[in-house]
Chain A
């Protein structure tokens, strides 16, 4: 096996997750790619990583299920023999005004975005502690910092990720496991493509750089936090947002 370091990226079939996978692959990092449903897109991500010369493992599964997360991490360990980097990127939206938001809409978003990340962190805890090193990067959102009308559930899940990450950072710091958060702003993906033109224009007006971010912008920040160069950075929230959160 030629792979030196290994990453598990959840929600890796498309969007920001795919960009993170290929960016890590460029650095020779082996990739375990989790995805919820789209086999074809996941395979495309795996192919792109393999073309960069790294070993890949596709892991279909719903991260809101704790058992699935534990089995995934075990599969990574069985296949690669190690787990160095965990990127919790899987996320969903169920937008609605809070007034009309159903219990299910709130719960589903919390289950995938926050609990899913927790389950994966918990599963990676022991192996990373044992290795005396690791990198956990949780993908939050600017919405978790600033809130957003129609996204009480999403904002709660993304803000929750920040508090959880800081707590884990404190628990694991002495074991050389760092836990950081990236908070993307308005990034061009399937998730933002569905926004109405009016909403999009209003959002653009609030971005000092006056343009959308690209998935690669986020991926490069994640790759930095996953690298040896970021060894002394933990418990931080890095906004990748064209200046929105200032």
Chain B
């Protein structure tokens, strides 16, 4: 799951693959703003067939949070 999510993040945010670690913070470390978050979610829905529910979105601080959430879905 981590690798899949990582690929979507790299493609969507156009960031350095090296920077996408489990601990990386989406906003502070990867430079995602609120619109990027929406974008990222749409890309996850397309690529993995599942996304983050709107009410859970604010809780997603790090790449690890995303992976954990998607794995539990």
- Which A residues form the contact surface with B (CB < 8 A)? 126, 129-130, 171, 174-175
- By a CB distance below 8 angstroms, the chain A residues around B42 are 126, 129-130
The CA of A175 and the CA of B39, in the complex, are separated in Å by 10
What is the distance, in angstroms, from B43's C-beta to the closest C-beta of chain A? 9
Binary CB contact string for chain B from 13 to 57 against chain A (1 if under 8 A, 0 otherwise): 000000000000000000000010011001000000000000000
What is the distance, in angstroms, from A162's C-beta to the closest C-beta of chain B? 22
Write the chain A residue with the least CB distance to B41: A126
What is the distance, in angstroms, from A135's C-beta to the closest C-beta of chain B? 18
Number of A-B contacts (CB under 8 A): 11
Residues of B within 8 A of A (CB-CB), count = 4
The CA of A130 and the CA of B45, in the complex, are separated in Å by 12
The CA of A130 and the CA of B43, in the complex, are separated in Å by 9
Write the chain B residue with the least CB distance to A171: B35
The CA of A175 and the CA of B42, in the complex, are separated in Å by 14
Write the chain B residue with the least CB distance to A130: B42
- By a CB distance below 8 angstroms, the chain A residues around B35 are 129, 171, 174-175
Write the chain A residue with the least CB distance to B35: A171
What is the distance, in angstroms, from A130's C-beta to the closest C-beta of chain B? 6
- By a CB distance below 8 angstroms, the chain A residues around B39 are 129, 175
Write the chain B residue with the least CB distance to A174: B35
11 sampled A-B residue pairs with Cβ under 8 A: A126-B38, A126-B42, A129-B35, A129-B38, A129-B39, A129-B42, A130-B42, A171-B35, A174-B35, A175-B35, A175-B39
What is the distance, in angstroms, from B46's C-beta to the closest C-beta of chain A? 8
- By a CB distance below 8 angstroms, the chain B residues around A174 are 35
The CA of A126 and the CA of B42, in the complex, are separated in Å by 8
The CA of A171 and the CA of B39, in the complex, are separated in Å by 12
What is the distance, in angstroms, from B29's C-beta to the closest C-beta of chain A? 20
7 tightest A-B CB contacts, nearest first? A130-B42, A171-B35, A129-B39, A126-B42, A129-B38, A129-B42, A174-B35
